[in-house]
Chain A
Amino acid sequence: MRASGNKSITKQTKLSGDIEENTNLIQELFGSSIDVIFREFTFGFANKFRAVIVYIEGLTDRASINSDIMKPLMYDSNLQDPSLYTTDCYAKIKTAMLSVANVEELTSVRKLADHCLCGYAALLIDGFNQAFMINCQGWDKRAIETPPTESVIRGPREGFTENFITNISLLRRKIKDPALTVEAMKIGEKTGTTVALVYIKGLTNVELIKDLRKRLKKIKTDSILESGYIEQFIEDSPFSLFSTIANTEKPDIAAAKILEGRAAIIVDGTPFVLTAPMLFIESFQSAEDYYVRPAFATLLRIIRIISFFISVLSPAIYVALSSFHQELIPTALLFTVAASREGVPFPSFIEAAIMVLTFEILREAGVRLPRAIGQAVSIVGALVIGQAAVSAGLVGAPMIIVVAITAVAGFVVPNQNDSGAVLRIILLILSAIIGLFGIMIGLLGTLIHLSSLKSFHVPYLSPLAPLRPQGLKDSIIRAPLKSMFMRPAGMANRDPYRHKVNVTKSSGSK
């Protein structure tokens, strides 16, 4: 069935009425991959129609092809009537015979191939210059399970999966509003990844949606493998330490963010859904905060903020105090620190740098080790190594404590792990050069940078700076849900109220 001649297949190449020619075109496009199947068959009265189904093994549900495409065509008696062999019988095939839920008609060969790669089966019928694209997607996918990176004590345990439709369905289950819009586009020349922009029409700012759409359409690359790629292409400050687009694996978090006026970006092939814009304070908020009691949630928030500062500042402050400002250490503590530094061959800064580096190495290794050994080389293992280092006289015991606290505190705020690690090292170097003054310079620089950072035209440090009193109800404290009646400022400008505010009348009336 090979035709002679090499025709290069462009976007404009269309199917012809000749089934052999069409088949050859498609075969040329796909090359000699073994998983592209061409099934020829005949159907109709006296087997008048010749047809070919093109599908990709592994992407399609073979049972669906068998029972929904081939069976009705081959066994159905409708087309046994010869009088139906007229020009519109092809339409009848689509409307009356194919018992599948989703059928399109295509003429472009390129588009046909794209659809096949998404799990569609192409039905080519001799004499007909269009192909029916039948959706019978079915492949092995991960079941919905608890996301490993975000586990909660109270709250739903579903997590997004790699399947695009499943993710959208999870969001739809949370927001049963017909205004929830899913705008899909394909980004990436070679990967053709489906990327969807999800928002609530009438709630989200129109400028934000336009901006996101524009930025997404501007992406010209050959591969989008993960939402992180999209993040780096559309974000405001690619060189900043702090990310301005949030990601989450849990549908309830994504739904809550959409309801606050943000937009979500779902990328096919990854369970991490992006939400934009992002505020700095979001890294300290977790889904659980809203499901537990306000006092407890406030306590947790404060602990998280303190932990972040501890994790970033501890090594730097230890080095600054013990090398430059011994007067600031209380006398009894000074003796302990002095005792621990006796006999240690390195100056304070080298000691700190070695320990921080060792911790990062251990953490990185722990992620990649096989599960059996992974547990052994955990924090406990690190502490044992630290203890051995102290006994050998290489580092001092307070240094081990400082690094252990830094490590553990760093995991309390997992969203800022990457920025925290770099900031820690920068502050450590600054403190080793000019002591507390260096730490102050570093912190001031970070503050200036954070204040000037904007995430899709919303200031990054809002609601703290610029001060939005209503927004403060959900920052360091978590006010009861009844009193959080406004959405965050800067988002959802057209619908700023979550629920109606009750104007309390004095007792007696009503």
Chain B
Amino acid sequence: MKKLTTLYKIIAILILITLLTGCWDKREVDTLSIAVGFGLDIADGDDQIEMTAQMVKPSNISMPEKSSPQETCEAFWNASTVGEDTDKTIRLFNNKMSRDLYIADSQVIVIGQDLATRGIYQYLDYFLRDHESRLDVFLTVCEGKAKDIMSIKPQTESIPAMNIYDVLENGHLDMTSVSTRLIDFASALLSETTAPALPVIKVQSLGTQNAVVCDGTAVFQKDKLIGFLSEEDTKAYMWIKNQVSSGVVYVQMPAGKADYEIVNSKTKVGIHCDKSGKITVKVNITGNGILSSQIGTEDFSQPPAVIKIEKAVNENIKNSILESVQKTQQMHADIFGFGDLLNQKFPNVYDKLKSDWSSAYQKITLDISVNMKTRGSGRMMKPALTKKE
């Protein structure tokens, strides 16, 4: 019977433990108010912000569209409160609403342009510390007020915040905007020389409907917005950061125009510092692409034509990168992380220059070499109509 007393002891211990702990940390799903997106705006009053939380109404998500479209059929609702900082505002939400805010599923944090110029880190510190929030929420700056952008009902999605998330992700793949998560922003701030860059979204009328589109990059100095870069310049950022996976380069040649689609690419960035303190950044891009559209007289089944277009594409990419880097140099914003690269390779030089990096950054020269290879020209070799200009 010795085995049995051990069994009884174990059962008794288990029952006691159960009674002690109870159902610790249990919370039912229907006591949560799932927040999918946050918007931060300037509010009237000193140092106050208006936070908009977009929450999901789960019972309306899978419901088919009713015959009479009503407001109450929407799958989300926005709530705004004014407070001094994020922590206080979120507690105001929790106090006023019937359910506590559940921020683990938030997809985007939209920051109004005005607030971005004032400095945003103090409002994002809460999201970085809270154990429930995710560090991979997308950060974005919007033109106008975040509250308005988050109310725009998208055509295909049911929740605006998810739509903004998809827009940002798609834009990143198409080389029209950068993609910055909260963790990327934080690591850019931790570096002493890098300037963070956030994508910009705005409302644009696409035909008859309004839609949220992303358009370029916002450049920050520490955590204050200082300027914008266009879509073209964003492309250079993606080239240098080795984030190009698809995209089109438009080239103009004497024999016509061509669109060259990039299939894959790889960028290697190296930094050199010679004895006189001159810093050169070497960018080496290789990749493959295919001809996606063409007008003119060139026949791409012949190698000379292929060489011509490759040369044109390489030139185009090189020039665009050079132009963008020059623009950022004028803005004194090192969004590419060249400072960190220098720190890796030449820490002594970096230590001397880091206190005044914005002027040192202006003096950096670039040595770009692009080598794109053509894989094919699609289904056709010669265009169906060879237009002689």
Residues of A within 8 A of B (CB): 239, 322-324, 326-327, 331, 334-339, 341-342, 344, 347-348, 432-435
- Residues in B whose Cβ lies below 8 Å from that of A344: 30
* B34 x A324 contact (CB < 8 A): no
- Residues in B whose Cβ lies below 8 Å from that of A335: 34, 56, 58, 61-62
* B24 x A336 contact (CB < 8 A): no
Report the Cα distance A347→B132, complex, angstroms.
23
Q: Tell me if B385 counts as interface (CB < 8 A to partner A).
A: no
Tally chain B residues at the interface, Cβ within 8 Å: 27
Chain A residue nearest to B36 (CB atoms) is A331
* B104 x A342 contact (CB < 8 A): no
Interface string of B14-56 (1 = CB under 8 A from A): 0000100111111111101010100000000000000000001
* A337 x B21 contact (CB < 8 A): no
* B58 x A339 contact (CB < 8 A): yes
* A348 x B62 contact (CB < 8 A): no
Q: Tell me if B102 counts as interface (CB < 8 A to partner A).
A: yes
- Residues in B whose Cβ lies below 8 Å from that of A433: 18, 21-23
Q: Tell me if B59 counts as interface (CB < 8 A to partner A).
A: yes
- Residues in B whose Cβ lies below 8 Å from that of A326: 27, 29, 32, 102, 104
* A338 x B62 contact (CB < 8 A): no
* A435-B25 CB under 8 A given contacts A336-B62, A339-B61, A342-B58: yes
* A334 x B34 contact (CB < 8 A): yes
Report the Cα distance A435→B27, complex, angstroms.
11
* A338 x B34 contact (CB < 8 A): yes
Known: A339-B61, A433-B18, A433-B21. 16 other contacts (CB 8 A): A323-B23, A323-B27, A323-B28, A324-B26, A326-B27, A326-B29, A326-B104, A331-B105, A335-B61, A337-B29, A338-B58, A339-B59, A347-B28, A348-B28, A432-B26, A435-B25
* A342-B59 CB under 8 A given contacts A326-B32, A434-B21, A434-B24: yes
* B7 x A239 contact (CB < 8 A): yes
CB distance from A497 to the nearest CB of B (A): 38
Which 4 pairs of residues, A with B, have the shortest CB-CB distance?
A: A338-B58, A339-B58, A327-B104, A341-B30
Report the Cα distance A337→B58, complex, angstroms.
8
Report the Cα distance A331→B18, complex, angstroms.
31
User: Which of B32, B58, B104 has a CB less than 8 Å from the CB of A336?
Assistant: B58
Chain A to chain B contacts (Cβ below 8 Å), 5 pairs: A322-B28, A323-B29, A336-B61, A338-B32, A435-B25
- Residues in B whose Cβ lies below 8 Å from that of A239: 3-4, 7
Report the Cα distance A249→B7, complex, angstroms.
34
Report the Cα distance A342→B59, complex, angstroms.
7
* B29 x A435 contact (CB < 8 A): no
* B21 x A338 contact (CB < 8 A): no
Chain B residue nearest to A432 (CB atoms) is B23
Report the Cα distance A473→B43, complex, angstroms.
70
Report the Cα distance A433→B22, complex, angstroms.
6
CB distance from A409 to the nearest CB of B (A): 24
The secondary-structure label for the interface of chain A is helix
Report the Cα distance A335→B29, complex, angstroms.
10
CB distance from A240 to the nearest CB of B (A): 11
Q: Which residue, of A324, A327, A338, A348, has the highest number of chain B Cβ atoms within 10 A?
A: A338
Report the Cα distance A336→B59, complex, angstroms.
8
Q: Which residue, of B7, B29, B105, has the highest number of chain A Cβ atoms within 10 A?
A: B29
- Residues in A whose Cβ lies below 8 Å from that of B36: 331
- Residues in B whose Cβ lies below 8 Å from that of A339: 58-59, 61-62
Q: Which residue, of B24, B27, B30, B61, has the highest number of chain A Cβ atoms within 10 A?
A: B30
Report the Cα distance A119→B85, complex, angstroms.
95
Report the Cα distance A344→B31, complex, angstroms.
12
- Residues in A whose Cβ lies below 8 Å from that of B34: 334-335, 338
Report the Cα distance A326→B28, complex, angstroms.
9
- Residues in A whose Cβ lies below 8 Å from that of B23: 323, 432-434
Interface string of B298-317 (1 = CB under 8 A from A): 00000000000000000000
Report the Cα distance A331→B26, complex, angstroms.
19
- Residues in A whose Cβ lies below 8 Å from that of B104: 326-327
* A324 x B105 contact (CB < 8 A): no
Report the Cα distance A331→B102, complex, angstroms.
12
* B25 x A327 contact (CB < 8 A): no
* A334-B105 CB under 8 A given contacts A323-B28, A347-B28, A432-B23: yes
- Residues in A whose Cβ lies below 8 Å from that of B32: 326, 338
User: Which of A322, A331, A432 has a CB less than 8 Å from the CB of B29?
Assistant: A322
Interface residues of B in 252-306 (CB under 8 A from A): none
* B61 x A324 contact (CB < 8 A): no
Chain A residue nearest to B3 (CB atoms) is A239
Report the Cα distance A435→B107, complex, angstroms.
26
Q: Which residue, of A327, A335, A432, A434, has the highest number of chain B Cβ atoms within 10 A?
A: A335
Report the Cα distance A186→B85, complex, angstroms.
86
* B7 x A338 contact (CB < 8 A): no
- Residues in A whose Cβ lies below 8 Å from that of B22: 433
* A435-B26 CB under 8 A given contacts A239-B7, A335-B61: yes
Report the Cα distance A432→B27, complex, angstroms.
11
CB distance from A20 to the nearest CB of B (A): 55
- Residues in A whose Cβ lies below 8 Å from that of B62: 335-336, 339
